[in-house]
Every structure is written in C-alpha cells, then in structure tokens.
Chain A
Amino acid sequence: MPSWKKDCPCSRANEFMKPAQFEYLRAASIAEAVAALSAQAGEGKIIAGGQSLVPMLNFRLLKPLLLIDIMGIAELKFLEETPGGGLRIGALTKHHTLETSPLVKRLFPVLSEAMSHVAHLAIRNRGTIGGSLSHADPAAELPLMAVLLDARIRTASPEGGRTIAAADLFVAALTTRLLESEIIVEVELPALAPATGWAFEEVSRRAGDFALAAVGVLLAVEKGKVSSASIAMMGVAETPLRAARAEALIKGRAIDASLLDELVTAVRDACEPNTDLHASADYRRHLVGVLARRAVIAAWKRALGEQP
C-alpha cells in the first residue's frame, strides 16, 4: 500500500463495509440451491443478477446469513421456441438478452419493446427474468409482461416445484406467492394468435427510472372486430393488473372514438394507484387512461397491418 494511504479511511476497509456479514455459496445446480435455501430456514437469500438485492443489502434492509449465488447454474440458462410458437425462458435470462434476441423480437415484440425501458444498460446486462419476477416491484416491466402474456412460472422447491400462473404469482408490492424455499426456474409464454397487434406505453420521470405508469396491450382481430384482447397495467396498484372489464368491453367490436372513451373509463376504474413523491394517485389514474388509449390504438393498427 502506498504510504499516503496508510491513514486514509479506505485502508481500514473492514470498518466501512456496507452490507452486514454473510456467507456465500456458489450453487452448481438447482437441487443444490434449493437444498441450501431450505437448510437456512428463512435466513438464506438467492442472488442472481443482484440488481435489486444488492442495494437492499447495501442499505442493510436485508441481512441474510447466507447468499446463494445461482448465476453459474447452466440448466437455468436457455431461451427456446416451443413447438406451438411460444417461448421457454430460463430464469437466468438477462433483460438485455430479452431486449435484443431475434427470437423474442419475432415471437413477442411487445416483450423486446418493454425490455428496452428497463433501467439502464448496465442493469439490463445483469438483471434476470427470474430475479425481477421474484422481486415483484409493482412498477417493473417484467411482472407486467408476465401478467399481459399469461406467463406460466415454473418453480423448484424441496417438495419438487410447481407451475404458477402469472396472475396468481403477485400478491402485493415486493410480495409473491413463492414459498420460503421455492425458486423460479423457468417462464413459459404461450404462443400468441397469428397477427396479434401489440403495444407498450410507459411514462417515467427520466429515461430508465421506474415507470409512473405503463400499459401493455395485445389485440387479435378477426373480420374487422377484436376477437381477443389482453390489457395489463402497472404502477397503478400494489401488483400489475389486468383490466378485465376493459378487455370484455372491446371484444367483438371495432375500435372507434366512443369505444375508446368507454375503455379509458373502464381502465381508470380498475386501478388503485398510490400517491408518492413522484406523482399523485389522481395523476397516475389519469395517466394510465391516456396510455391505455394510445396503446389500444397502436395495437389495433398493428393488428390491421398498419403502421402504428
């Protein structure tokens, strides 16, 4: 060490560690990770990309005794098309991969588009789909996409694991139905109907910030009328929501100005936004209606083969 550093606080590193002490295990398989998590009985924490977890550790909001690193588990790294034209996505697939993968762009362009709004490149380079869904931030894009696309979440646990529908996964802000020793291993996206129109609209204070509100829309059109609709929103409740009444409203009809007005009302009625530092509840409720209108128009145009 250079002499000028001897008296510098940085030379006494151990006194200045941000996180509380923990032990670290690099798991080599899903089975090893689940066994280690189970053995800790609530005192262990899985780390993948760590982009939400490490800030919480740095602030000592979390003080796990053991960090189980799953980033090296090869069986969690895959991205493949299913026979029907859906996708199987391994839990360690990174945001940047979903943003840029030609396969995702072809099968689920709405997902690529939404991923480009996630934080910043350095975060997208490390953050994973399994991590984002487990963290369940109410203003994160991946939980919204899971709910919009009717994702099925496959898990592993000491009991063997199960499949959870995305709509059932999220309970409240930062709270999922995952059990203490259960980890997400795979996300399956069922195929979309041919020529499904899509759109994703988001407003945030600055590029890369968490959204004030966002809306994702999928529309299938037959004979000039909506044959199926999926409308999901986030930032306006404790969890991402489907606007079921708005979806039912537009089914079997052609999108026009008066229908859009009805739709916006239905969307605003379905949400329960909070007021915080960044926006009032009233503003968020207004915003989600504006975004839903834009998104439905864009998805409708795409379904008809027009430029949005």
Chain B
Amino acid sequence: MSAVMNIKLTVNGVVYEKTVEPRLLLVDFLRQDLHLTGTHAGCEHGVCGACTIIVDGDSVRSCLMFAVQADGCKIETVESLARLGSVDSLNPLQESFRSHHGLQCGFCTPGMLMTSTDLLKKYPLATDEEIREGLSGNLCRCTGYEHIVQAVRTAVGQREESEK
C-alpha cells in the first residue's frame, strides 16, 4: 500500500505502465494520462453512459471504476473501432451511425457505440423495444434516439448477414 501505485494495462492493443493515485477514476486516467479523449466524462456517477468502454470483453462505465482496478486488464475505447483511428475507415457500426444521422453534438456517441458493440455481442436485439431497452442507460440530449435506434437496427442486420 502506498499513496501512488504502479499499474500495467493494455489499451487498444498498446501496453501502458503508469503510476497513479488509487482514487484516479479510469475515465480520467484514459483522458488525462493517456490522452485518449474519445471517452467522454459526463455525469461522473454512473447515470449518463457517455464514458462506457470495454474492459476484458464487457462494457463498463469508466467513471465507476478506478484505474488501479484495471491493472492487468485489456481495455478497448472508442478509438479502437475505426481502423487507424481515421474517419476514413469507420467500422460498420460507426458507418451506420453516420449514415442514419445517429448523432448530432456527438457527446454521447462514444458511449452509444461502445454500449451497442457489447449489446450486439450479447443480445438478439430482435425488436426496436429491445434496442431501446439496451440503450436506456445512455443518455442523448440531441437526437430523440430515433436515429440511434435505426443505426443499431441496421448494425443488427449486418451482424446477421455476416453470420450467414
């Protein structure tokens, strides 16, 4: 035990070793220590979903986790979705958000994308109601959600295409 601790973790395929205070939230670690500002800090108490990332294969809220808890973990953030992190190489889910206008100001988008990534992996999402329920932990103040649901609906269709 000490005032600062050493942690080693993998973020988007890159191994980082850093020294952190135990009380440093994972979202702040990603943004301030690693300068990965794609993950957004919104409410910072687990309500808005903007900071959702994938830790060891499961979506989690990075404002409800300390960086020290992620020692040894494999993390994926929104920056991992597009190849080369470039707008010219969006993944199918991102492309679907773009073509359906599934974002306006974009603040909630990283969380929407990472939550949708996990939902697409774990649930059938057979109905729009199921998609809405799955996304209910991610707040968007611009779109009214309609276009986000449409974007995920298209991604569900693409998932089924690729499974054939």
Contact = CB atoms under 8 A, between A and B. Distances in A.
Interface of A: 1-2, 5, 10-11, 13-14, 16-26, 47, 50-51, 54-55, 57-59, 66-67, 69, 71, 96, 100, 119-123, 125-126, 206-208
B132 A207 contact: yes
Contact of A24 (B1, B58, B136): B1
A185 B32 CA distance: 36
Interface string B2-33: 11010000000000000001111100100111
B45 A58 contact: yes
B119 A59 contact: no
B148 interface: no
B64 A120 contact: no
A121 B1 contact: no
Nearest to B23: A19
Given A1-B35, A54-B65, A122-B115, A208 B137 contact: yes
A126 B58 contact: yes
A306 B156 CA distance: 33
A243 to B, nearest CB: 29
Interface in B104-150: 115, 118-119, 122, 132-134, 136-138
A131 to B, nearest CB: 12
A13 B28 contact: yes
Given A18-B25, A21-B23, A22-B22, A51 B35 contact: no
Interface residues of B, number: 40
A contact patch SS: mixed
Contact of A21 (B21, B60, B64): B21
B2 A23 contact: yes
Given A20-B23, A54-B66, A120-B134, 4 more contacts: A17-B28, A24-B22, A50-B64, A54-B65
A122 B46 CA distance: 9
A107 B118 CA distance: 27
B23 A71 contact: no
B6 to A, nearest CB: 12
Contacts of A26: 68, 71
Given A24-B5, A24-B68, A55-B45, A120 B35 contact: no
B contact patch SS: mixed
B69 interface: yes
Contact of B136 (A25, A58, A96, A206): A206
A18 B23 CA distance: 8
A62 to B, nearest CB: 12
Contacts of B59: 121-122, 125
Given A10-B32, A50-B69, A18 B5 contact: no
A25 B1 CA distance: 6
B81 interface: no
B81 to A, nearest CB: 17
Contacts of B69: 47, 50, 69, 71
B61 A122 contact: yes
18 contacts: A5-B35, A10-B32, A16-B28, A18-B23, A18-B44, A23-B1, A23-B2, A25-B1, A58-B44, A59-B45, A67-B22, A67-B66, A69-B69, A122-B58, A122-B59, A122-B137, A126-B65, A207-B132
